[in-house]
Amino acid sequence: MGYKMMKDVIEAGKNIVDISFYPEDPFGLDELAKEKGVVAVMDCGVAPGMGNIIFGHHNSQMKITDYECLVGGLPEKREWPYEYQAVFSPIDVIQEYIRPARYVQNSSLIVKEALSDTELIEFDEIGTLESWNSDGLRSLIKTMAHVPNMIEKTLRYPGCVEYLKVLRASGFFSYEKVEVNGTMIRPVDMTAKLLFPKWEMKPGDKDFTVMRIILRGTENGKEVSYQYNLLDRYQDDTISMARTTGFTCTAVANLVINGAYTRIGISPPEYLGGHFEFVKTYLEKRGVKYNVKKS
């Protein structure tokens, strides 16, 4: 649906800054956008989104050898068994658990199943979270092909992955129809129907978004490392995931509306690295703060 929406907007000759994820290749709309004279920015959320803008900024300042992004949106209150609440479509969440994860290692594209290579990671103010391979690099695989090592991993509370692996291995995430009492259904539809009430945020529930980005490489002839840390919490009656994705999107929309970003065609967020300071300041004014350490 997201790809078709973006295509329809471009065909109408309207500029667009989009957050939605879809499996189709957004660059398939590049020629159409150029033909229509449209500025079209894709994947403009938190990750992909702000993470890409940070990447693009440093790509113009240094020779990057390693990029790692750890990111997750979680409920403040942990409740057994999933310790998770969905802030967008449950079907889209399930897609994260079944879509093969692509990352780059030693300049080679590696593909592994989702939920693989789990690690326990410590975060200040949160404690221990569990990371696993997810398919979040998206456009970076193409646009940053000169960077030899790139990976994105999703964060959840420890233990969540085992439950998800059991459901996946048992076929609950399958899109292949099965017959149940004379009716053909997709198991994933039934699973989403059952899980959504358990994953749905209730009145009074609060969430947080955590992201850690590490970039390593050479700058001015010296080896350097940059680490960006984000910990954003529910505030002003707005869930954190909406704040961190939505404000990034509206920051870039302002750049397009005001004529500060005018590149015709499909633009992944890393193309906006030159506007990093504007976006960062825009977010800070709204309480979304990325802290950076250089070593």
DSSP characters over 214-246: EEEEEETTEEEEEEEEEEEE-BTTB-HHHHHHH
- Predicted pLDDT at 247: 98
pLDDT on residue 87: 83
Question: What is the full DSSP assignment across the chain?
Answer: -HHHHHHHHHHTT--EE-----SS-GGGGHHHHHHHT-EEE-S-BBTTBHHHHHHHHHHTTSEEEEEEEEEEEEESS--TTT---BSS-HHHHHHHHHSPEEEEETTEEEEE-TT-S-EEEEETTTEEEEEEE-S--TTHHHHTTT-SEEEEEEEE-TTHHHHHHHHHHTTTT--S-EEETTEEE-HHHHHHHHHHHHHBPPTT--EEEEEEEEEEEEETTEEEEEEEEEEEE-BTTB-HHHHHHHHHHHHHHHHHHTTS----EEE-GGGGGGGHHHHHHHHHHTT--EEEEE-
What span, in angstroms and rounded, lies between the C-alpha atoms of 171 and 115? 15
Count how many residues are written for the chain. 295
pLDDT(1) > 80? no
Q: What is the pLDDT of residues 233-292, one digit of tens each?
A: 999 999 999 999 999 999 999 999 999 999 999 999 999 999 999 999 999 999 999 999
Query: What residue spans define the domains of the chain?
Result: 2-294
Residue 88: count of CB within 10 angstroms of its CB: 14
- Kindly state the percentage of the chain with pLDDT values over 90: 91
Sorting pLDDT into bands at 50, 70 and 90, what band is 81?
Answer: confident
Pairing of strands 290-294, 119-123: unpaired
Q: Is the pLDDT of residue 228 over 90?
A: yes
| Averaged pLDDT for residues 72-79 | 94
For the whole model, what pTM was predicted?
A: 0.95
For the stretch 86-101, pLDDT in tens is 887 788 889 999 999 9
CA angle centred on 241, ends 160 and 204, rounded to 5°: 80
Tell me: the pLDDT tens digits for 183-225?
999 999 999 999 988 899 999 999 999 999 999 999 999 999 9
Reported CATH class of domain 2-294: alpha beta
- pLDDT given at position 88: 78
- The answer, yes or no, to whether residue 22 has pLDDT greater than 90, is no
At residue 88, φ and ψ (nearest 5 deg) are -150, -175
Average pLDDT, the chain: 96
Q: Are the C-beta atoms of residues 151 and 103 closer than 8 Å to each other?
A: yes
Q: Please check whether residue 211 is in contact with residue 230, taking contact to mean a CB–CB distance below 8 angstroms.
A: yes
